[in-house]
Amino acid sequence: MNILLAGGAGYIGSHTAVSLLDAGHDVIIADNFANSSPVAVERVREVSGKPVTCYRADVCDKAAMERIFQENNIDCIVHFAALKGVGESVEIPVAYYRNNIDTTLTLLECMAKFGVRNMVFSSSATVYGDENPIPYAETMRRGSSSHPYGWTKIFMEQIFEDAAKADPNLSVVLLRYFNPIGAHPSGRMGEDPRGVPNNLMPYISQVAVGRREKLTVFGGDYPTPDGTCRRDYLHVMDLAEGHLEAVEYAAAHKGAEAFNLGTGTPYSVLEIIRAFETATGVSIPYAIGDRRAGDLPEFWADASKAERVLCWTAKRDLTEMCRDTWNWQSHNPKGYEE
Ligand code: UD1
């Protein structure tokens, strides 16, 4: 298949590109590099040994996107083109709604115009909100969010469901990611956040490589076994392979359907620190600080639907997640822009 990765130069998009190329698909990337690097695309070519067509284009730019659809016979789209900073979304909510909703509508309009029927959407466990019991299952209703970023994911899912209801030819797979960490085992690709990392694993790996002094653990008094928050961390290559299954599922089914992509096993912040130290031999100085606004004590996936329907399970364990993160970070201390 010819697969368009909208926002495909980012952390999850670039790893997904490698999985799709390895499976024999052709990949076209459209990215404005607002939060990613063109070097990531070069590394996708290097690691896969395959050509990749890449456009520097804003997915909100309808004329630019129409040209891409015209020049390529696209079979399926994977939509990663979104802003993803929780804290930033509280500061600039309008920019978040504008970008994330606009990319989604532009892609849907292009699909209608060019007869493209299959879409895989990069959603998030955040859509379960804080009302649902854990583990989260796809049978639960979407919840409400404490931040605009989360609302954009909830709205985008709703838009896709409405579009699929109105057009019986449309097929949309909503992939609800839990917490992706890790890197490609080659050490040539990995997570490279701009500025101070918001997420746990890139912060830990930047402490390990000496770019940050110490980690602040956000809260030590949660109602969890060791007082720190628990999350369902999965290896980014497992997540990437989930997209491969989703693309094939979208080609064979109609309508909108959601799948959790997680392991089903939670780890606490302290367990992640210890696992990283054991896997790498590098110690991580940390201090327990205040809770971060909006953090839930714990959540993880009921991962049974993806296993039953997509024949997908996460195969790589926490040691591998930590080892591959360190292999990437230690060989690329400054990320892609060295
Ligand atoms: C966050 C978002 C989620 C988004 C995901 C990917 C919230 C509430 N959720 O998930 O919607 O899809 O990022 O961008 O923000 N932690 C520390 N110290 C740090 C960083 C994190 O202790 O410096 C802790 C957090 O409190 C949390 C855990 O590590 O318990 C994981 O945090 P993070 O990697 O930011 O992911 P989420 O908050 O689960």
CA–CA distance from 46 to each of 43, 129, 185, 189, 195 (Å)?
5, 39, 13, 10, 26
Angle at 95 between CA 154 and CA 117, to 5 degrees: 50
Q: Which pLDDT score is estimated for 230?
A: 98
Report pLDDT digits (tens) over 198-207. 999 999 999 9
Report pLDDT digits (tens) over 87-125. 999 999 999 999 999 999 999 999 999 999 999 999 999
The CB of 27 under 6 Å from ligand 1? The reply is: no
Per-residue DSSP letters for 168-224? TT-EEEEEEE-EEE---TTSS-----SSS--SHHHHHHHHHTTSSS-EEEE-S-SSS
| CA–centroid distance, residue 13 to ligand 1 (Å) | 19
The CB of 145 under 6 Å from ligand 1? The reply is: no
The CB of 220 under 6 Å from ligand 1? The reply is: no
Task: Return d(Cα 70, Cα 66) in angstroms, integer.
Answer: 6
Structure tokens at 241: 């392979």
CB 325 within 8 A of CB 256: no
Q: Which pLDDT score is estimated for 338?
A: 60
The CB of 179 under 6 Å from ligand 1? The reply is: yes
For ligand 1, atom 5: residue with the closest CA: 179
Task: Return d(Cα 80, Cα 7) in angstroms, integer.
Answer: 5
- H/E stretch holding 231 reads strand 230-231
Strands 118-124, 233-235: pairing kind: unpaired
| CA–centroid distance, residue 152 to ligand 1 (Å) | 17
Task: Return d(Cα 235, Cα 10) in angstroms, integer.
Answer: 15
| CA–centroid distance, residue 198 to ligand 1 (Å) | 7
Task: Kindly tell me if the per-residue pLDDT of 337 is higher than 90.
Answer: no
The CB of 203 under 6 Å from ligand 1? The reply is: yes
286: annotated active-site residue: no
As a whole number, mean pLDDT of residues 31-38 equals: 97
Task: Return d(Cα 117, Cα 121) in angstroms, integer.
Answer: 13
Percent of the residues in the chain that have a pLDDT greater than 90, as a whole number: 99
Report pLDDT digits (tens) over 234-287. 999 999 999 999 999 999 999 999 999 999 999 999 999 999 999 999 999 999
Report pLDDT digits (tens) over 139-182. 999 999 999 999 999 999 999 999 999 999 999 999 999 999 99
Q: H helices within the chain, ranges in order?
A: 11-22, 38-48, 62-71, 86-91, 93-114, 148-166, 200-208, 236-252, 269-280, 304-305, 318-331
The CB of 286 under 6 Å from ligand 1? The reply is: no
The residue from 11, 149, 249, 336 that is catalytic is 149
Report pLDDT digits (tens) over 122-131. 999 999 998 9
| CA–centroid distance, residue 296 to ligand 1 (Å) | 9
Report pLDDT digits (tens) over 291-328. 999 999 999 999 999 999 999 999 999 999 999 999 99
For ligand 1, atom 7: residue with the closest CA: 295
